[in-house]
Structure 1
Amino acid sequence: MESITKHLAAIAPLCLAIALACPVTGCQNSAARSPSVNSSFMDKYWVMTAFTAAPGIDWDLDGATETDILAKLEPCEKDDAIMFRKDNQVLRHHGANRCDEDEEETEEAGTWQYAPATRQLTRNSEGSRPVVYTVVEATGGKLVLQQNVEGKNKRHVLTATFKAK
């Protein structure tokens, strides 16, 4: 369970980041086929307002099971924002609270692809495995992503809710 928890902790900011990843092949064609769905979450910054795990998980390896993962994130991660650009690039804005004084305000954080038929949003970040999310809701002001993660003995559903910045 420890390795899955470390993996989850590593992707949390990008699940913002909460952490999203995949090859770029076909991305622009997918976006072009479904502009109404994609346009609802493209080209705007999203700030995470809720991040939960069901069933709960020991996110920070302190021996306690948590369901409210947002509460466990560092303050410098909570004001970060993510953007899915129309050119299939992911941008991350580090917000006013920086985790590292050398952090750039904005950085490219991988690529994304959306499959409208399955509502799957996949993100690829250099050095990480692709992360696949289900788009539960995508409106002009709200984005809800879910990710299924296999734990040692059970499956966890991570749900990240974002508001447009």
Structure 2
Amino acid sequence: MTQFTKKAAIVMLSVAAMTGCKKDDSKTSNKSKTELLTTGSWKQTSIYFSPAVDWDGDGHKENEVINLYSPCDRDDLMTFKTNGTVVNDEGASKCDPSDPQVIETTHWKFADNETKIVIGDPGVEESAQLLELTSSVLKVKVTMEEGGVTYTETLTFGH
């Protein structure tokens, strides 16, 4: 696994931030951001990089990389709890049957007037900008630098 791949995988597990929130219907319009975020588990549906990245070192650059993950990784779930914890779960299939069902439990909170979500324990927190939060879509953006290049990673989750 390349350094970029490891770093990106860590960032993906550390989802983060909220800036501006779209409402998708009348049911959503009366719900707080906390209610929207903590209702159900979220499964990643898209991991989009700009500029494109050479994810596996084969010289071919990709923007959308979710399909480069194995099915056992693509079904992982994140569940945000109202008590400020977030649980990362293996989902229906595990890559290694001996792995625990719960991958990680850590903390989450809103920051900057609920324009960001911060995930992780103190000292190792990551944050991301919220692009969209509805009853069925969570979309965040994380910016990182790797090898002198600034990448924007847009992560989309659904119920």
Quickly name the TM-score band, shorter chain normalised.
0.7 to 0.9
Report how far residue 38 of structure 1 moved: 1.7
| Residues 91-138 of structure 1: per-residue CA shift (max 9 Å, x gap) | 122112201111232354211111252611111159x83221111111
Structure 1 residues 120 and 103: CA distance shift in structure 2, 3 A: same
Match of 2:93 among 76, 97, 122: 97
CA distance in 1, matches of 2:65, 2:118: 21
* Aligned: 1:68 with 2:64: yes
Q: Residue in 2 aligned with 1:7?
A: 7
CA distance in 2, matches of 1:5, 1:163: 23
Maintained 8 Å contact 1:43/1:86: no
Unaligned segments of structure 1, at least 5 residues? 22-34
Q: Residue in 2 aligned with 1:155?
A: 150
Question: Structure 1 length normalisation: TM-score?
Answer: 0.76
Amino acid of the structure 1 residue aligned with 2:60: A
Maintained 8 Å contact 1:5/1:61: no
Q: Which 4+ residue blocks in structure 1 deviate beyond 3 angstroms? A: 2-5, 9-12
* Aligned: 1:134 with 2:147: no
**3-state DSSP of counterpart to 1:71:** helix
Maintained 8 Å contact 2:44/2:156: yes
Maintained 8 Å contact 2:16/2:142: no
**3-state DSSP of counterpart to 1:148:** strand
CA distance in 2, matches of 1:37, 1:118: 8
| Residues 17-38 of structure 1: per-residue CA shift (max 9 Å, x gap) | xx459xxxxxxxxxxxxx7122
Report how far residue 6 of structure 1 moved: 2.8
* Aligned: 1:53 with 2:49: yes
Q: Residue in 1 aligned with 2:138?
A: 143
Unaligned segments of structure 2, at least 5 residues? 18-30
Report how far residue 154 of structure 1 moved: 2.2
Would you say how many aligned residue pairs link Structure 1 and Structure 2?
A: 145
Report how far residue 5 of structure 1 moved: 3.8
Maintained 8 Å contact 2:16/2:140: no
Q: Which stretch shows the higher mean deviation, 36-45 or 46-55?
A: 36-45
Maintained 8 Å contact 1:5/1:57: no
Two-structure CA RMSD over aligned residues (Å)? 2.4
Question: Structure 2 length normalisation: TM-score?
Answer: 0.79
